[in-house]
Amino acid sequence: MTIINKLTLILCGCIILLPHAIFAQQSEYSTLPPPRKLTTEQAKVAEKNYQKYCALCHGADRQGHVNDHAPSLRSKSLFESGVPHAILRPISYGRVDTAMGGYLDEVGGPMTLDETWDLTYWLFEKAGYQRLKLSTNPIQGDIKRGEQVYQKECATCHGIKGEGVTAPALGNQSALAHNTDEFIRHAIRYGRQDTPMKSFKDKLSSDNINNITAFLRSKASGWKMGKTVLKAFPTPDKYVINKQGDDPHFKLSDDMFVSSDDLNAALNSKKKMVLLDTRVPSVWQTAHIAGSIPFPYYADLNETVEGIPKDVQIVAYCSCPRAAAEHTINKLRRKGYTRTAVLWEGIFGWIQMGYPVMRGDIEDIANK
C-alpha cells in the first residue's frame, strides 16, 4: 500500500468517525428508528385536520402560544422525546381541566383513532427531528427538596400547585398519567426550543432536576378512575332555552362581550336565548353551562345553524377564554346572525366565579 493510500484511509476513517464521536459526547441517549411514514393521502388528511382543529390555539405553523398558552408543536425536545404517546394521548384524550380537549371519537371528539395516530406522525414528520430512546424507569429524587426548587424556579409560569399560569399544567393528572419521568426530565433539561421554556441543564444540578421530577410525579396520586358516558346532544327543538321568556337585553362591551354576572342573572330569570359551547364536544361532555349546545369552532355552519333562529339572543363561550367563541360569532355575523355575543370570562372564568355547570355523566367506577 502506498503512503498516499494509507493517508487516504486514515483520513477517511477520521471523517467517518468524527461526527459519531461528537454526537456520542452530545447525547447520552440512543436513537429510535422513525415511525411509520404517512402516505401522501394520509398526510393530506392530517394536515387538513391540523388546520381545522388545532391551528386556533397551536398556530398555523405549529409555533404554539397563539391562544391559551397552547404549547409549540414543533420543538426539538418535544418531538425527540414525545412520539408517539406524549403527543398522541393529549390529542386523543385531552388534558382534563385545561383548554386541551380530547379529539378522539370515543370521548366525543371528531377524529378516528387512525386519524389521531396519523396526526401524531404528521407533526413528527413536519418537525423533522430524530426520536431518542428514553428509559421508562421512574426517576428517584427528594420530593421535599424538589418542591422547594419548583416553587422558586417554576411556579411563576407553571403555578404554585402546578395548575399552569402561562405554561402547561405540570400537576395535571391526565398529563402525569401519559408522560413518563424521563419525558418530564428531558423537557426540564433541554427546555422547549423557541418558547419561554428555557433549558435548566446548566442552571440546576442534576440532583435538583431529579428532585423536581420526583416532586411532580408525586402529584400523580389521587387520580380517580372515571368512566365517561357520552350524553346525547340536544336536538334542534331544544336549542332555544326559556322559549316563553323575555329577551335578556344584554349590554355588550365592544359590541361583542357579555359578562358572566349578566349571563347568570339572565339565566336565573329565565330569559330567552341560545347558548353555544364552541369547544371540542368532548369537553362539553365533561362540563358545560346548562342548556348549551355543542357547537365546535370548526363546525361547518351550513350544517349546524339549522334550528337557530335569527331573532333570538345567541351567547357563545369557550375556554380560550374567548378565541373559539369569537371565531364562531364572527362567522355567524357574516351569515346575518346579528343578535350575538361572547361570554367575556369563558367557561373557566365562569366556574371560577362559582357559577354552575353540568358536570356531564361521569360514572365513578370506584363506587361500583
CB of 350 to ligand HEC, least distance (A): 16
CB of 164 to ligand HEC, least distance (A): 4
Q: Write the binding mask 220 to 259 for ligand HEC: x where contact by CB under 6 A, - elsewhere.
A: ----------------------------------------
Counting every residue written for the chain, the total comes to 368
Say if residues 175 and 169 touch (Cβ distance below 8 Å): yes
Closest CA to 48 of 119, 106, 109, 101: 119
Residues 139-168 that bind ligand HEC (CB under 6 A): 153-154, 156-158, 164, 167-168
Number of H helices, E strands in the chain: 16, 10
Q: Write the binding mask 166 to 185 for ligand HEC: x where contact by CB under 6 A, - elsewhere.
A: -xxxx-x--x--------x-
Cα gap 273→286, rounded to integer Å: 22
| DSSP code, position 132 | E
Stretch that binds ligand HEC, among 35-43, 95-103, 249-257, 305-313 (CB under 6 A): 95-103
Tracing cell 370570562 back to the chain, one arrives at 345
Say if residues 324 and 297 touch (Cβ distance below 8 Å): yes
| DSSP structure string for 59-85 | -TTS---SSTTPPPSS-HHHHHHHTTH
What values do phi and psi take at 172, rounded to 5?
Answer: -70, 130
Stretch that binds ligand HEC, among 49-57, 131-139, 342-350, 353-361 (CB under 6 A): 49-57
Q: Please identify which residue in 38, 42, 46, 70 interacts with ligand HEC, judged by CB under 6 A.
A: 70
Q: Alpha helix (H) ranges present in 192-345?
A: 206-218, 260-268, 281-286, 301-304, 323-334
42 binds ligand HEC (CB under 6 A): no
CB of 250 to ligand HEC, least distance (A): 24
CB of 94 to ligand HEC, least distance (A): 8
What's the start-to-end Cα distance of the chain, in Å? 81
By the criterion CB under 6 A, which residues form the site for ligand HEC?
53-54, 56-58, 64, 67-73, 75, 78, 86-87, 90-91, 95, 98-100, 103, 119, 153-154, 156-158, 164, 167-170, 172, 175, 184, 187-188, 192, 195-197, 200, 212, 320, 324
